Structure 1
């Protein structure tokens, strides 16, 4: 079976045109399905400030009430969780801090107290 060269060239041109046309269509379909997916499953946003403030108060109390003789791992885990919610509150209120970059020890404890005072100054109720 012999196919004329002109017919093969025309077929290739049609295939090339279809490929060029399907690219934008596929991109449009992907964008549309992404929007539908985002509407069904909204991306988690920031937590409400009231919830973060409640966590700051709860974890602050828990850290202050760690009984003597408790494992050091418990105290460190509570301190890390407390630092995380302090940073989250600072980010929500746009309060500058250096808690993440300050090494463990007295310098970090001092930065934690400074951040608490700054958060109180910004209007966050950090103590009951």
Structure 2
């Protein structure tokens, strides 16, 4: 009679130990997978401010040199790239802006000019 009770008690103890260890084992496996993922796909760093400033000047020049008969898709693509670079420069210099949330049109043009003036005021050479 004692042997079956000991077997049942041992089985219950093993099951309880397995249940208790599942949390730490899962946390260990998740940490290991996260380390592998970060080693495989490193987060990209920020570009240097000089490179961003050169892109601002280059894209401003490209926008001003778009021929009259150029497709609208080209103009919009250049404007979108220019806005992205302006936002990147503002982020690097910690200048508040609302360029991403401003709708297209005159309001966005005004916000773009305000951001350009703020970048220039912060010491970034935006005119080449």
Q: TM-score, normalised by structure 2?
A: 0.84
The size of the alignment, in residue pairs, is 126
Map 1:36-115 → 2, pairs under 5 A: 36-39=36-39, 41-115=41-115
Query: Paired residue for 1:14?
Result: 14
Q: What is the CA distance between 1:29 and its match in structure 2?
A: 4.1
Structure 2 CA distance, aligned partners of 1:61 and 1:81? Answer: 13
Structure 1 CA distance, aligned partners of 2:94 and 2:37? Answer: 31
RMSD of the TM alignment (CA)? Answer: 2.1
Q: Which runs of 5+ in 1 are unaligned?
A: none
Q: What is the CA distance between 1:49 and its match in structure 2?
A: 1.7
Query: Paired residue for 1:123?
Result: 123
Q: What is the CA distance between 1:120 and its match in structure 2?
A: 0.8
For residues 4-49 of structure 1, give each alpha carbon's deviation from its aligned partner in whole angstroms, at most 9, with x where no partner exists. 2541232122122133124213313432452354245421132222
